Amino acid sequence: MAYTDYIFEGYRKRLAELRESTNPFADGIAWTGGDYMPVHEATVPLLDNGFMKSDLAYDVPAVWDGRYFRLDDHIERFERSCAKLRLTCPIPREELRHRLIEMVARSGIRDAYVMMIVTRGLRYLRQYAPEECENRCYLMVTPFLWVIDEELQKTGASAIIARDVRRVPPGAMDPTVKNLQWGDFTRALLEARDRGCSYALLTDGDRNLAEGSGFNVVLVKDGRLFTPARGVLEGVTRKSVLLAADRLGIPWEITDVPVSAAYDCDEMMFVTTAGGVMPVTTLDGEKVGDGSVGPVTQALWKAYWDQHYDPEASFAVSYE
């Protein structure tokens, strides 16, 4: 039995039930300021600066087995991102939270990928002061997305360290603001494809690791965890993994991580909401450690998913 069977057996059953559902929101539900609608019918105005200039902040909590996971952590980070960009969510926090819960309940989706977005709106910042721009809010819930699928979770993914592109420096775009300015990430993903794999890590230009396209990286060396301190999003999933490490007695550091450490580590994992703890067993065509999913990764993998049933980190959705 693969260690991943712990969650995937139940997930596959719930997914099969969802596919048989007649609920009009089973494929996803959206809110753009009016009534709820199927996600594939939702639209964004062409002149919205979120679309035109990626002038927005967003965040992505998740629902697993009918339980919202760290929703308030995601809302708090979302509010910090908005504040740093001088954006204001047009609906109060409690209404935002209520709608995100209500949308999941209406959809019937028990394993969900949830997105909240605030954009600058329809006025150009070059012509108006930030406080004169009427910000817009968009919400959506879709079935859970996997950055690394079940089969790769079992064996580990292959990745590269990008050579042709570096992470946008913090002086240009604050990496602690969750944003959709993915030019560097997209270039790195294309480079990864050209080099025969699907995932890429970017560096900070100073010979340190930064992050990948929507995920933090965690290295294991001699039983300790190391994860980059600069040029990265302060990931909620990374926070969950480090809390799990504390409970398991695994020491960790958030610090500068030189690129050389990636080639010398015992285990490597990418961590993000859309996939959780994702093992990496090949880097630049060479084995990471012995080339298998290591014991620390497996322990953290299980501990992370256990947290989804912990009432301190999650709560059950009351489905209609």
Q: pLDDT of 219-253, one tens digit each?
A: 999 999 999 999 999 999 999 999 999 999 999 99
CATH code, 87: 3.30.470.10
Q: pLDDT of 3-18, one tens digit each?
A: 888 899 999 999 999 9
Lowest mean pLDDT among 39-48, 125-134, 269-278: 125-134
Q: Which of 143, 168, 197 is the last residue of a domain?
A: 143
Give yes or no: residues 137 and 160 share one domain: no
For residue 1, is pLDDT > 90? no
Q: What is the DSSP string of the chain?
A: --TTHHHHHHHHHHHHHHHT---TTTT-EEESSSS-EEGGG----TT-HHHHH--EEEE--EEETTEEESHHHHHHHHHHHHHHTT---SS-HHHHHHHHHHHHHHHT-SSEEEEEEEE--SS-TTTS-GGGS--EEEEEEEE---SS-HHHHHH-EEEEE-SS--PPPTTTS-TTS-----HHHHHHHHHHHHTT-SEEEEE-SSSBEEEETTBEEEEEETTEEEEE-SSS---HHHHHHHHHHHHHT--EEEE--BHHHHHH-SEEEEEETTTEEEEEEEETTEESTTSS--HHHHHHHHHHHHGGG-TTTEEE----
For residue 34, is pLDDT > 80? yes
Domain annotation covers residue 210: yes
Give yes or no: residues 201 and 115 share one domain: no
Give yes or no: residues 109 and 11 share one domain: yes
* pLDDT value for 108: 98
- In whole angstroms, what is the distance from residue 154 CA to residue 213 CA? 21
Domain annotation covers residue 315: no
The predicted model scores a pTM of: 0.95
Q: Which of 93, 124, 143 is the last residue of a domain?
A: 143
CA angle 84, 164, 215 (to 5 degrees): 45
Q: pLDDT of 105-138, one tens digit each?
A: 999 999 999 999 999 999 988 899 999 999 999 9
CATH code, 271: 3.20.10.10
- In whole angstroms, what is the distance from residue 267 CA to residue 226 CA? 11
Q: Which of 100, 115, 143 is the last residue of a domain?
A: 143
Give yes or no: residues 34 and 164 share one domain: no
Domain annotation covers residue 278: yes
- Residue 114 belongs to domain spanning: 5-143
Structurally, how many domains does the chain consist of? Answer: 2
Tokens standing for 90? Answer: 């047009």
